[in-house]
């Protein structure tokens, strides 16, 4: 993996959002570029993106695109996955320093030793992992398709699941099968507490608590619905409830409100002076940086070809095992 920390070359000159939208849209045409953004990015990034989605939808979009350039407003493993799927395309990120601490909590050397302790086990890893970890894995998954993929594995086959211990524990409980779990976690989701959830439900009687499976079990057990970011979004559209307490990264509230303008969305409480309440890495994607990365065609995401080929198999297997 070559993690290019080169600056975007962003100058101090600041343009209005309207001007940046205009310039970014012009560059999209000029470069034949596709701008992908995760739901956790800031609203103005979601507004200018061609596709806004969760990890799975964005990986699928990257796999299918005919664009020459993919601009990924998300975190590093997402852009890296796009590059693994598209070696011939230019893949850019507004800020390549936007890593994912969950992915970084699973170093390849330690994971290799962990894997050796369980010979014969099938390795299923969350897409929130480095290319090195994907290369050590049999199948990649996201929170949208993990269940569907695990259901296809014979009952008697041992499974190693990583790096998110909360998602792993949730799946093990739901599917009634033991899995060997790597003990990583996402600080944004792991930081929600049961006492805060109970307090929020008391303060908003009638509101439905909905939660991402990266949250701890003590939170999930109180949720009316548990699902990936996209599943939570779809649930809020379909549910008859009018108010939701949303236990995931609050960036998704923008799209929830857009889809259901008459409903009320309350971010699940945390201490908002605490930076663990939001994914600070996702918020590194700003309009200015997006514009400058397109203008300067950097930072470019590069993946060593041997590593790319080694990691491609587990991503391809995921896409085959969870067709649309």
By CB under 6 A, name the binding residues for ligand SF4. 40, 75, 100-102, 128, 186, 188, 249, 279, 281-282
Q: Which residues contact 244 (CB under 8 A, 6 or more apart)?
A: 207, 208, 209, 210, 236, 256, 263, 264, 265, 266
Looking up tokens 């939208």, which residue turns up? 21
Instruction: Please state the closest distance from residue 103 (CB atom) to ligand 13P, in A.
Output: 9
Instruction: Please state the closest distance from residue 13 (CB atom) to ligand SF4, in A.
Output: 30
Instruction: Please state the closest distance from residue 19 (CB atom) to ligand 13P, in A.
Output: 30
CA end-to-end span of the chain: 29
Which residue from 46, 81, 143, 311 is in contact with ligand 13P, where contact means CB under 6 A? 143
Q: Reduced to 3 states, what is the DSSP secondary structure of residue 176?
A: coil
Cβ contact 89:294 at 8 Å: no
Instruction: Please state the closest distance from residue 256 (CB atom) to ligand SF4, in A.
Output: 16
CB nearer ligand SF4, residue 106 or residue 282: 282
Residues 211-230 interacting with ligand 13P (rule: CB under 6 A)? 214, 228-229
Strand partners, 188: none
Instruction: Please state the closest distance from residue 233 (CB atom) to ligand 13P, in A.
Output: 9
Kindly list the distances between the CA atom of residue 96 and the CA atoms of 15, 75, 150, 218, 282, in Å, as whole numbers in the listed order.
22, 8, 32, 34, 11
Cis peptide before 299 (omega within 30 of 0): yes
CB nearer ligand 13P, residue 144 or residue 311: 144
> Using CB distances below 5 to 8 A depending on partner kind, what does residue 281 bind out of ligand 13P, ligand SF4, none?
ligand SF4
> Using CB distances below 5 to 8 A depending on partner kind, what does residue 81 bind out of ligand 13P, ligand SF4, none?
none
Residue 285 CA to residue 238 CA, distance in Å, equals 30
Residue 293 CA to residue 298 CA, distance in Å, equals 5
Which residue from 54, 80, 190, 300 is in contact with ligand 13P, where contact means CB under 6 A? 54
Chain contacts with ligand 13P (rule: CB under 6 A): 54-56, 100, 128, 142-144, 186, 214, 228-229
């Amino acid at each position: 993996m070559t993690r290019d920390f080169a600056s975007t070359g962003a100058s101090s000159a600041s343009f209005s959002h309207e001007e940046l939208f205009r310039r970014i849209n012009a560059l999209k045409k000029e470069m034949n570029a596709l701008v992908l953004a995760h739901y956790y990015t800031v609203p103005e990034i979601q507004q200018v993106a061609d596709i806004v989605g969760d990890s799975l939808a964005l990986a699928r979009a990257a796999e299918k695109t005919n664009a020459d350039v993919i601009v990924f407003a998300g975190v590093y493993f997402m852009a890296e996955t796009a590059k693994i799927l598209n070696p011939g395309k230019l893949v850019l990120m507004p800020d390549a320093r936007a890593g994912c601490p969950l992915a970084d909590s699973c170093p390849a050397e330690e994971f290799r030793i962990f894997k050796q302790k369980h010979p014969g086990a099938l390795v299923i890893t969350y897409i929130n992992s480095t290319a090195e970890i994907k290369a050590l894995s049999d199948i990649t998954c996201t929170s949208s398709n993990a269940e569907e993929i695990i259901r296809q594995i014979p009952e008697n086959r041992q499974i190693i699941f990583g790096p998110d211990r909360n998602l792993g524990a949730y799946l093990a409980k739901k599917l009634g099968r033991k899995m060997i779990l790597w003990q990583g976690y996402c600080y944004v989701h792991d930081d929600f507490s049961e006492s805060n959830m109970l307090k929020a439900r008391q303060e908003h009687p009638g509101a439905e608590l909905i939660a991402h499976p990266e949250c701890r079990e003590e939170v999930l057990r109180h949720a009316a619905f548990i699902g990936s970011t996209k599943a939570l979004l779809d649930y809020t559209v379909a549910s008859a409830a009018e108010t939701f307490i949303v236990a995931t990264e609050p960036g998704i509230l923008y799209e929830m409100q857009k889809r259901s303008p008459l409903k009320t969305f309350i971010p699940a409480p945390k201490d908002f002076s605490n930076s663990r309440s939001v994914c600070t890495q996702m918020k590194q994607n700003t309009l200015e940086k997006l514009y400058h990365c397109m203008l300067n065609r950097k930072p470019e995401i590069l993946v060593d070809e041997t590593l790319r080929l080694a990691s491609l198999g587990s991503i391809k297997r995921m896409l085959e095992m969870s067709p649309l």
